[in-house]
Amino acid sequence: MQIITEPAEMQSIAESLRLQHQFIGVVMTMGALHNGHLSLVRIAKQKAGTVIMTIFVNPTQFGPGEDFHRYPRPFEQDAALARSAGIDYLFVPSPEKMYPEGFHTTIDPGPISSLFEGRSRPGHFSGVATVVVKLLNITQPHIAIFGEKDAQQLTLIRKVTGELNIGTKIIGAPIARESDGLATSSRNIYLSSSEREQATVLYRGICHAEIETGEGRTDLAVIAEEAESLIRSMPDADPDYVSFVDDETFEPADKALPGKAYRLVMAVRIGTTRLIDNWRFVCP
Q: Is 30 in the site for ligand AMP (CB under 6 A)?
A: yes
User: Which residue, 50 or 188, has its beta carbon nearer to ligand AMP?
Assistant: 188
Q: Is 278 in the site for ligand AMP (CB under 6 A)?
A: no
Helix residue ranges, H only, the chain: 7-19, 35-47, 75-84, 95-98, 117-120, 124-139, 151-163, 193-198, 201-214, 220-232
Q: How far apart are CA 229 and CA 151, in angstroms?
A: 23
Interface segment toward ligand AMP; rule CB under 6 A; list 109-117, 145-153, 230-238, 248-256: 145-153
Q: Is 277 in the site for ligand AMP (CB under 6 A)?
A: no
Q: Is 155 in the site for ligand AMP (CB under 6 A)?
A: no
Q: Give the torsion sign (CA, 199, 200, 206, 211).
A: negative
Q: Name the residue whose CB lies closest to ligand AMP.
A: 147
Nearest distance in Å: CB 30, ligand AMP: 4
Q: Are strands 169-173 and 24-29 parallel, antiparallel or unpaired?
A: unpaired
User: Which residue, 43 or 242, has its beta carbon nearer to ligand AMP?
Assistant: 43
Which of 40, 44, 107, 266 binds ligand AMP (CB under 6 A)? It is 40
Nearest distance in Å: CB 79, ligand AMP: 15
Q: Is 183 in the site for ligand AMP (CB under 6 A)?
A: yes
Interface segment toward ligand AMP; rule CB under 6 A; list 1-9, 12-20, 70-78, 175-183: 175-183
Q: Is 37 in the site for ligand AMP (CB under 6 A)?
A: yes
Q: Is 200 in the site for ligand AMP (CB under 6 A)?
A: no
Total residues in contact with ligand AMP, by rule CB under 6 A: 17
Q: How far apart are CA 123 and CA 158, in angstroms?
A: 18
Q: Is 150 in the site for ligand AMP (CB under 6 A)?
A: yes
Contacts of 201 (CB under 8 A, 6+ apart): 230, 231, 233, 234, 237, 268
Q: Give the torsion sign (CA, 179, 183, 186, 191).
A: negative
Nearest distance in Å: CB 241, ligand AMP: 18
Which secondary structure element, helix H or strand E, spans residue 144, and what is its range?
strand 143-147
Q: Is 104 a catalytic residue?
A: no
Q: How far apart are CA 158 and CA 148, in angstroms?
A: 12
- Strand order across the beta sheet in which 24-29 lies: 2-4, 89-91, 50-55, 24-29, 143-147, 169-173
Catalytic center residues: 37
Residues lying near ligand AMP in the complex (CB under 6 A) = 29-30, 36-37, 39-40, 146-147, 149-150, 173, 175-176, 183-186
